[in-house]
Amino acid sequence: MKHEMKSKESAISQFDEGKIKSCFPALNIKKDPVHYLDSAATCQKPTCVIQSIVHCYEKQYANVHRGSYRLSEKATSAYEETRNLVARFLGGVHLHEVIFTSGTTAAINLVARTWGEENLRPGDEILLLISEHHSNIVPWQILAKKTGAVIRFVPLNENMLPDLNILENLFSEKTKLFAFAHVSNVTGMIYPVKAMVQMARKHGILTLIDGAQAVPHLPIDVHDIGCDFYCFSGHKMCGPSGIGILWGKDELLEKMPPFMGGGDMIASVTTEGSTWNKLPYKLEAGTPGIASAIGLGAAIRFLQQIDMQAALEHDQKLGTSLINALRDVPGIYLLTPGADNWVGIVSFFHKSIHPHDMAAFADARSVCIRAGHHCAQPFMNWLKIPAACRVSPYIYNDENDIREFILAFQEAEKTLCG
Ligand SMILES: Cc1ncc(COP(=O)(O)O)c(C=O)c1O
């Protein structure tokens, strides 16, 4: 991934959305074309990722870390190569700090069940943002119920960014963890994670960042951010589903007890008890998602070929076209302000068009969008809306996809708003 910033013009001119789209077979079915605008839920897969999975099953499939034969060694080295790629993708971290999970949800649950159960006491506090995905709320609620810890929510300001003044006032002696998204799955806003981590660190508070919506768009450097844990899912960044990553600082991971018990996570087992394998295996019980991990490696390689700064500007440009078309529509409430610190996701609520009706009108034109609470019910309640529509463009979309959605929106408006 090219990390250097480029001028807008030169970056965009090098970004060829048509060429990128041609890499995604699901978007090139002539008889059944789709305008896929739901990439924040999960994104489409390029041929190289699909082929890497086929290759794994056809040519290099065996269990990993266990077999004393060449085929297993081949599978192990392909699987471990992804750990290498992830370690570099996160800015150059230790291999043993990269834990394979089934996704962001599993990674957050892992931290809650291990670090959380070990360290939290009654009255301790966990800070979350009001805009968090349920995956970064519910595991902490379960933990709070078990330990007697208390959860506090940080509101957003008028720019849909965390209110840092309120945040500062919420930190206290009791706060043990601040967990928050890098990018909101509802608004697409990129949160100032480095500043937020610095604020927490001044108070000696650990930070966990949910990077599920950041990794498809942004270069990540966990050392530069300064956080303690960072998690993400493969399926939102062109990789397969069922694979994700927990990165944690080794001094924390070392002290954490295992999450699940089973194969590969032990050093020895007797009828009396067990001892644990070293990191990262201690936290990876059972046969892992071998092919999915290999597919994640192919996805990282794919994204590394793309100028991600140009890709981000492309996604913002598509989102801005949509915002411009919707901004002055009577009855509309745009949840997304649109700005430079934004990945192009557009969410909105229309007082006379139910989001599910909107999604059905879109579907009639083969436009895929998301309608509902976006796994962010506390955020919807805070915004005082029941649900919203979300349009999330990505590297393979073009203005035509946005135009088709706008036509669907106009049809819905004409039909339902009289
Ligand atoms: C911000 C955020 N966090 C967490 C998740 C959960 O990811 P997964 O379902 O891959 O575990 C999502 C998925 O939409 C998300 O958008």
- What pLDDT is attached to residue 339? 83
Cα dihedral across residues 190, 195, 201, 202: positive or negative: negative
| Euclidean distance between CA atoms 409 and 185, whole angstroms | 21
Question: What are the structure tokens assigned to 136, written together?
Answer: 């970064």
Query: What domains appear along the chain, each with residue ranges and CATH number?
Result: 8-33+307-416 (3.90.1150.10), 51-304 (3.40.640.10)
- What pLDDT is attached to residue 14? 65
Task: Using most ligand atoms within 8 A of CB, pick from 133, 217, 243, 370 the residue to mutate for ligand 1.
Answer: 133
What end-to-end distance do the CA atoms of the chain give, in Å? 49
| Euclidean distance between CA atoms 203 and 171, whole angstroms | 7
Task: Using most ligand atoms within 8 A of CB, pick from 233, 236, 238 the residue to mutate for ligand 1.
Answer: 233
Please tell me if the CB atom of residue 52 comes closer than 6 angstroms to any atom of ligand 1.
Answer: no
pLDDT tens-digit readout, 106-132 = 999 999 999 999 999 999 999 999 999
- Residues marked as catalytic: 375
Please tell me if the CB atom of residue 212 comes closer than 6 angstroms to any atom of ligand 1.
Answer: yes
Instruction: Give the long-range contacts of residues 18-26, CB within 8 A, separation 24 or more.
Output: 18/398, 20/306, 20/395, 20/396, 21/396, 21/397, 21/398, 23/47, 23/48, 23/302, 23/396, 24/396, 25/50
Q: Are 178 and 200 in contact (CB under 8 A)?
A: yes
Please tell me if the CB atom of residue 213 comes closer than 6 angstroms to any atom of ligand 1.
Answer: yes
- What pLDDT is attached to residue 83? 98
Q: Output the CA 212–ligand 1 centroid distance in Å.
A: 5
Please tell me if the CB atom of residue 103 comes closer than 6 angstroms to any atom of ligand 1.
Answer: yes
Average pLDDT across each block of 10 residues of the chain; the chain has 418 residues. List them in order. Answer: 42 74 95 95 98 98 91 96 98 98 98 98 98 98 98 97 97 98 98 98 98 98 98 98 98 97 96 97 97 98 94 97 97 91 98 97 98 96 97 97 98 92
Residue indicated by tokens 């793309």: 306
| Euclidean distance between CA atoms 102 and 246, whole angstroms | 10
- What pLDDT is attached to residue 24? 97
